[in-house]
Structure 1
Amino acid sequence: MLDGLKSHPDRLLVDHLIGTSKRAQEKAQRIDWQTFGIEKGRALKLVHLCCLSHDFAKASRDFQDYINAPSQGVHVSHAPLSALVTYHVLRKNGFDVKHSAFGYFIVRHHHGEFSDFGFIQENREKIERQFFSIPSDFKKWFENSVSISLDFSIESLLNEIEKQIDSLCFFTDFSFKDYLLLQTLSSILISSDREDAALKDLTITISKKLTIEMLEKYISQLPSGGLINEMRKKFNDHIKQNLRHVDSNILSITAPTGIGKTLANLRVALSMTDENTLIVYALPFINIIDQTLDTIYRVLSGVEFDSTTVLPYHHLADPSYEDPLYEQQSIQNILIEGWHSQIVVTTFVSLFESLFTNKKVPFFHKLLNSVIVLDEVQSIPHKYWKPLAELFEEMAKFNCKIVLSTATQPMIVEKTKELVTDKFELNRTKLHFHREISFSDFKRVAEEEAKKSLDKNEKLLIVLNTIRESKEVYEALRTSISKEKLCYLSSNVIPKHRFERTRRIKQTKSAMVCVSTQVVEAGVDVSFDKVIRDEAPFDSILQVAGRCNRNYTSSLGDVHVYKVIEDERKRSFSSYIYDTLLLDITREILNQGQIEERNFPDLSKKYFTNIKKRANIDKENLSQLVKSLSFEKIGSSFHLIDKKYSTASLFIEYDKRAMKLREELNQTLKDSKMEKFEKIARVAKLLRQMAMYTIEVPILREKLEGALIVENGLLVVPHDNLRYWYNDEIGFQRSEEVMMF
C-alpha cells in the first residue's frame, strides 16, 4: 500500500516526506540554533520530525481519492490532522510545549497565511474520520520513522493541545527571537516542501562567481583625474582600510551622493561572506535597481553568469537561467522565490514585507546567514524605525550583517559601526529656499527657467509632488518647447517608457528639460545643471539635490525649492503627499534661505534628531504585535508604501510585445493539459513581463470596469483604444469620451 500513496500526482508520499526532511536538514545545518537557545542536535531533530509529519494526513482515503482523480474527488485539507500529529510526535520525543506548539503552528499553516499564534478550532468529526482512514502500513512506517506510537484519541489530543497552547499564550511573554524562530522553522519547511515537489531529487547549484578580486579589478580600471574621481578613489581606499577593524554586525556608510557608495557597499558585502552567505542588496525604488544591477554586471564583465549569481527580484524583473536542468518554469519559480542566488537585488518593499508578514516566505531562513545592504536607507518611513531597529538588532545576534548606506543617515539603529571616519566634503550645490508661490506663478517661473537653461545649453530638472501638478507643468512648457528638448517622468508612464527615458537623460549631453515626480530622486545616476523642486521633507530635498552637478562639472549648481500652493483650494501640493510633521521640521531647520552642500551633514543630523524626538517611530505598534506573535495584525499593519488614495492596476497594450504577452497569458490559462505547478510558474513569469506595461492609477477600479476590458483579473487598455487612454508623452489620461459617469 505504501507504494500507492501519493503526495503529488508524480511523487510518492513516503518519498516526499523523506525528500522534504533531507532538504530541510541541509538548510538547518547552517542555522545558529544556539542563539535561539536550542542545542543543534535537538534543532535538527525538531526540523526532521516536523517535515516527516507535515503531510501525514495525505495518506487519508479522501486525499488519495482526490490526488488520483482531481476532477472527481473533493479536496480535503490535510493540514489540521498533520498539525495535531506533529504536536503529538514532538511532545513524545521530549520537546517542550513551546517548541511543540511552534511545530504544530507551522504545519497547520504550511498551505496558507499565518493566523495569530494560538490553537485553531477544527471540525473534530472530520479529523477523526480522516485519522481512521489512514492505512495501517503507513501508520506503522510513520511510527517507526518518528520513534513513537500513535496511541491517542483525536478528542483527547485536541483537548490537550488546546489547553497547553492556551496556557502557553497566557503565561508566556514572547519576543522578537520567538518571532524569528517561528518564521525560520516555517521557511525551512515550506521551501523544502516546495523544492521536493518541483525538483524531486534535483540539486540546486548556486554560481558564486562575484568575487572581491573582480571588484578590485573593476575599480582599478575606473577613470582617474579630476576632483570627483580622486575623491572616489580616496573613499574606496578608506572603506577598504576600515573593513580591517570591523567589530559589529550592524554597519553604516554615510557619505555624499555620487562618491561611490554602490561599490563600497559591494566591497563590504563581499568582504563579509562565506560559502553559505546570501547577499541581499535592497533599494527603495525599482528605477534605481537597474542602475545597481548594471554596476554589478560591469564588475562581472567577461564572466558567464545567470540568475544563480545575480537575481533581480521585483515585479518588473525577468530572471534568466542558462542550465538546461532549470529550463522548466516551475523549477525557475522555485529558484526565484527561494532566492537561490549569490546576490539578490531587490526593493525595500520585497524585503521588509517579507520580514514583517503573515505570509509564507521560503527564503526567510537564509536571512540569518546573510549580508543585507540597505542602500538609501533614509527612505524608510519613520513610523517603522523602532520595530525595524529591534528586528535588525535581533538578527545581528545570528550570522546576519546589516549595512545602512546613505548620504543622510537616519537614526534607525542607535549603535552602528560607521565605516566612514574621515570627512569627505563635497560642495557641489547650493539650496535656495523661496517663499510660497501660487501654482500659476510657479508655472511661469518654470517656463522662464526652462528657456534660460536651453539658451545656456544646460540641463534642467523640475520635480513636482503630484502627477496632476507635473502634467500641468509639462503641458505648459510644451507650448513653447519642442518635445525633443523635453522629458517627462512619473508613475503615470508605463515602466518600459520610464526606463527608456532615464537612459536618454543619462546619455544626453545637450540641453534638455526634465519634468518629473519623486521617481527621479534617490540614487538615480543622472546629473543636471540646475534643479527646481516643489517643497518636500529635508531628506527628499537632499536626494534631489544629489541630481544637481553630481559629477562636479561646475563650481556650484543651484537647487531652488518652492512651496507651491494650489490656485483654487489654497493648499500646498506637498501636504497631499508628505507627513505634516516632517514638513514642519524641514521648515524650522531651513530658515536661512541659502545652504551649501558642505552644511548638509549637520542639518541632516538635526533633522533626524528632531524626528526621533517628536515623531511616533512605531505608529502601528508593530513591536508589540511581533512580541505577541499577532501575525494577522502584522500582515495588515505593515505597508512600506502608504497609499493615501485608492488605485487601480491597468495593463496598457502599447505595442506588439504587450499584445503577444496578453495573448500568451490567455492561452496559458486556458491550457487544461499543462501541469499545475508549470502553469502557476508560467503565469507568474508572464505577469512579471507584463508589469513593464502596467501602471497604478489613482482612481477606483469600479469606475473603470465599465469602460475597459476586465480580463483574468486585469483591467486592460487594448491597443485599438490607446488614443483614448494613453498619451505617448504624459502617459495615462482618463477619457471622458468613453466613460459614462
Structure 2
Amino acid sequence: MEHAKAHSHIRRIIYVIPFTSIIEQNAEVFRDMLGDDAVLEHHSNFIPDETDWKSKLAVENWDAPVVVTTNVQFFDSFFANKTSKCRKLHNIANSIVIFDEVQAIPVEKLQPCIEVLRELTANYGVSAVLCTATQPAISKSASFKSGLELEGKEIIRDVPYLFNALRRTRQTWLGPRSHEEVAEQLRQEEQMLCIVSTRDQALQLFAEIEDMDGAFHLSALMYPEHRTQVLKKIRKRLAPDNPQPCRVVSTQLIEAGVDVDFPVVFRCLAGMDSIAQAAGRCNREGRRELGEVFIYEPENMPSAGYFRQTADSAKRLFQPFAEKLLEPECIRSYFDDYFWKNQHRMDEDSILECCRAGTQRAEFAFEDIAEFRMIDNANQAIIIARDDEAAELVRQLKYAEFPKAILRQLQRYSVQVYPNQFRELKKGWLNQPVPGLDIHVLQQDNAEVLYSKRTGLQCEAPEGQGFIL
C-alpha cells in the first residue's frame, strides 16, 4: 500500500525492516543488484570503520542512493535530541521509504510513528510504501479512527482474488496439546517445522525429538554465525533434488523472512500476524497443491501479557474462519479485536502530549521527547568465543587502536541475554578482555561447558560445576 504526496525529484530509497536478524541478508541482495557503493547499511549490528571518515559521515547522513535500516534507527531519530542521530533527517525528504512488515511496529509506540509518517508524506515529499501480509495494520478505518488516512492506493489490485489464486496452505486448529503430544506428531513427519513463542518452549520441545534424524533447534540463544551454519544444513536437507529428514523446532526468529520451504508447519498459538508469517515457511515455492499448517495451544501458555492477548484474539477466529485464517476478512477481524481496541495504549510514553504542549508554549521539552524508544531493550550482549575465528578476534581486540572494526565482526558471535541471566553468568564465567570497554566474553573453555552445539547458550550454570577461569 502506498501513501504519498507528489514530488518532482526522488533523492533516495530507504528500506526499513523491523528485524536485525535478516537485514544483512536483504542488504546483500541490494548490493548484488546495484553495487556496493549504492547501498548504505545502518542498524545496531553495523559499526562503521573508525579509520574511514567517509564511511562514518555517510552513515550519519544517510548519504547513499539506497539505505537499508531498521524501525529503531528510523523512528528513534525523529524524537532524538542528539545531533549524531538527527543529522540524517534532511536526507529523508523527497525519498521513497519502504516499510517491510509494518504491522511489527509495537502497538505501544504506534501513534507517534503514524504521526511521523503523516508529516513526512504531507509536507516533505515522501512516498511511503507499507508492506505487510496482514493488511490493514495502520490505515484509518471506522474502528481505527487515529490510523493513517491513505491518499495513495493499493499497489496490488484485487487482493481477495489474489489471496485465493495464490493460496498455498491449509490451516487446521488442533486445540490444546502437551509437549509429548506435539512431539509425537512431529515424529510422524519426515520434514516439518515447529515454531514456538519463547526460548524455553523451544528447548523443551526440542528435547522430545533431538534423538531423531535431521533434528535441529533454532533460537536467539545461538549466535548468528551458528544459526547461519544450521540453516545451511536445513536448506540442504530440504533441497527438492535430494530430500532428507528435517525436523526443526524454532522460535519466532525463523518467521522473519527466512527463506525455507517445509511441507508441514506447526505453530503454537499466537497472533494472526505470527500465524501468517509461519504459514509463509510452508509450501513457499508452491511445489505442492497445499501445504499443511497446524496451530495448537501449548500447555505452558503465558497467563498474561502480549503473547496471551494476541493469542486470545486469534483463537476467537478459528471457528468462524476455519481453514481461511489468512484471508483478508479474517485478518481485518483480528486487528479489530486486538490491535485497534488498544488505541488507548498507542502512545505509552505520552510523546505526542509533550509535542502538543511544546507547540502551544513554543518551547519543546526535547529531553522528555527523546525518551521515545522503539524497543526498550535492557538485554546484555555476550560474545561466544567458541570458534577459533571468534577467539582470535577477541585476542586482537586487546591490542586494537580502533576496536569498532573488530566489534563489528564479533556481532556474528554474540548472544543477547536478559539482565538476570547476565548476572548469573557474570559470576565467574565471563571475561572482560579490554579494561574500560563494556565487552563480556564467554571464552573457549567455558563455552565447552555452557554452550551447546545443538541449542546454544545455557543461561544457568550447571549444578555443582566449578568455574573455569
Gapped regions of structure 2 (runs ≥ 5): 140-147, 359-363
CA contact (8 A) 1:430 1:558 kept: yes
> Is the Cα contact below 8 Å between 1:470 and 1:515 reproduced in 2?
yes
The answer as to whether partners of 2:170 and 2:323 remain within 8 angstroms in 1 is yes
SS state of the match for residue 390, structure 1? helix
Cα distance change, pair 726–579 in 1 and its aligned pair in 2 (3 A)? closer
Count the aligned residue pairs.
430
Query: Which structure has the highest helix share of the two?
Result: 1
Counterpart secondary structure, 1:714: coil
Deviations 1:609-652 (A, max 9, x none): 3345411322322222233333333333x333355xx6332111
Q: Quickly say closer, same or farther: Cα 1:705–1:522, change in 2 above 3 A.
A: closer
Name the CA shift for 1:632/1:563 in 2 (closer, same or farther; >3 Å).
Answer: farther
Q: Deviations over 1:480-530 (max 9, x none)?
A: x13xx1222111000111223334433432230111001011322221111
Provide the residue aligned with 2:39 in structure 1. Answer: 310
2:168 aligned with 1:428, yes or no? yes
1:380 aligned partner? 105
Cα distance in 2 for partners of 1:635, 1:527 equals 42
Matched, 1:249 2:4: yes
Q: TM-score, structure 1 length as denominator?
A: 0.54
Which amino acid counterpart does residue 423 of structure 2 have in structure 1? Answer: E
C-alpha change, 1:609 and 1:576, in structure 2 (3 Å) is closer
SS for the counterpart of 2:397 is: helix
For residue 23 of structure 1, what is the aligned residue in structure 2? none
> CA offsets, 1:367-422, max 9 Å, x none?
12321110111111122222211111111121222110111120242324222222
Q: Which has the larger radius of gyration?
A: 1
Pairwise CA distance, 1:593: 7.2
Secondary structure of the residue aligned to 1:618 is coil
Q: Is residue 336 of structure 2 the alignment partner of residue 602 of structure 1? A: no
Decide whether aligned partners of structure 1 residues 318 and 632 sit closer, same or farther in structure 2, where only a CA change above 3 A counts: closer
Q: Check whether the contact 2:13–2:65 (CA below 8 A) recurs between aligned residues.
A: yes
Distance 1:279 1:395, change over 3 A: same
Residues 107-162 of structure 1 show CA distances to partners (whole Å, capped at 9, x for unaligned) of xxxxxxxxxxxxxxxxxxxxxxxxxxxxxxxxxxxxxxxxxxxxxxxxxxxxxxxx
Matched residue of 1:667: which SS? coil
After superposition, where does 1:159-308 map in structure 2 within 5 Å? 249=4, 274=9, 277-300=11-34, 305-306=35-36, 308=37
Distance 1:503 1:312 in 2: 24
* Distance 1:666-1:546 versus aligned 2 partners, 3 A rule: same
Return closer, same or farther for 1:474/1:586 CA change in 2, 3 Å cut-off.
same
The match for 1:259 is none
Partner of 2:411: 691
Q: Which moved more, 1:357-366 or 1:508-517?
A: 357-366
1:325-724 equivalences under 5 Å are 328-360=51-83, 361=85, 362-396=87-121, 397-409=123-135, 410-412=137-139, 413-417=148-152, 418-423=154-159, 424-425=162-163, 426-437=166-177, 441-446=178-183, 448-454=184-190, 459-479=191-211, 481-482=212-213, 485-508=214-237, 509=239, 510=243, 511-566=245-300, 572-573=301-302, 575=303, 578-592=306-320, 594-596=322-324, 600-615=327-342, 616=344, 617-627=346-356, 628=358, 629-636=364-371, 638-642=372-376, 647-668=379-400, 671=401, 682-700=402-420, 701-707=422-428, 708-711=430-433, 712-724=437-449
Task: Report the residue type matching 2:397 in the other structure.
Answer: L
Judged with a 3 Å threshold, the aligned counterparts in structure 2 of structure 1 residues 650 and 601 are, in CA distance, closer, same or farther, namely same
Separation (CA, whole Å) in 1 of partners of 2:417 and 2:8: 42
In structure 1, give the amino acid aligned to 2:348.
K
SS of aligned partner of 1:555: coil
Q: How far apart, in 1, do the equivalents of 2:327 and 2:8 lie?
A: 33
1:207-241 per-residue CA deviation (whole Å, 9 max, x = no partner) reads xxxxxxxxxxxxxxxxxxxxxxxxxxxxxxxx9xx
Over the aligned positions, Cα root-mean-square deviation in angstroms equals 2.7
> How far, CA to CA, are the matches of 2:308 and 2:260 in structure 1?
29
Alignment correspondent of 2:142: none
8 Å Cα contact 2:16/2:97 also seen in 1? yes
Corresponding residue for residue 726 of structure 1: 451
| Paired residue secondary structure (1:589) | coil
**Deviation of 1:699 (Å):** 4.1
Distance 1:554 1:477 in 2: 26
TM-aligned CA deviation for residue 348 of structure 1: 1.6
Residue identity opposite 2:194 in structure 1: I
Where does residue 147 of structure 1 map in the other structure? none
- In structure 1, distance between residues paired with 2:260 and 2:60: 32
Residues 735 and 581 of structure 1: CA distance in aligned 2, closer, same or farther (over 3 Å): closer
Give the Cα separation in 1 of the matches to 2:173 and 2:5.
36
CA distance in 2, matches of 1:250, 1:546: 32
Deviation at 1:283, TM superposition (A): 1.0
**TM-superposed deviation, 1:540:** 0.9
Instruction: Indicate if the aligned counterparts of 1:430 and 1:594 stay in contact, CA closer than 8 A.
Output: no
Q: Is the 1:433–1:593 Cα contact (8 Å) retained in structure 2? A: no
Equivalent in the alignment of 2:361 = none
Deviations 1:164-200 (A, max 9, x none): xxxxxxxxxxxxxxxxxxxxxxxxxxxxxxxxxxxxx
**For the structure 1 residues 250 and 370, does the alpha-carbon distance in structure 2 shift closer, same or farther, using more than 3 Å as the test?**
same
Distance 1:684 1:631, change over 3 A: farther
Residue deviations 1:644-678 (CA, integer Å, cap 9, x gap): xx63321111222212222222212xx5xxxxxxx
Contact 1:411 / 1:612 at 8 angstroms: preserved in 2?
A: no
Distance 1:499 1:352, change over 3 A: farther
Aligned-partner Cα distance in 1 for 2:90–2:449: 48
Residue 408 of structure 2 aligns with an amino acid whose one-letter code is R
Question: Is the 8 Å Cα contact of residues 193 and 247 (structure 2) preserved in structure 1?
Answer: yes
The normalised TM-score by structure 2 is: 0.84
Mapped partners of 2:370, 2:227: distance in 1: 31
| Percent identical residues | 28
Query: 2:157 aligns to what SS in structure 1?
Result: coil
Cα distance in 2 for residues equivalent to 1:395 and 1:520? 32
Assess if the C-alpha contact under 8 Å between 1:375 and 1:406 holds in 2.
yes
Q: Note the alpha carbon deviations across 1:563-607, whole angstroms, 9 max, x for none.
A: 1123xxxxx14x56625443332222233473236x521111122
**Cα drift, residue 464 of structure 1:** 1.1
Question: Residue 530 of structure 1 contacts residue 557 of structure 1 at CA under 8 Å; is this kept in 2?
Answer: yes
Distance 1:250 1:706, change over 3 A: farther
Q: In structure 2, what residue type is equivalent to 1:435?
A: G
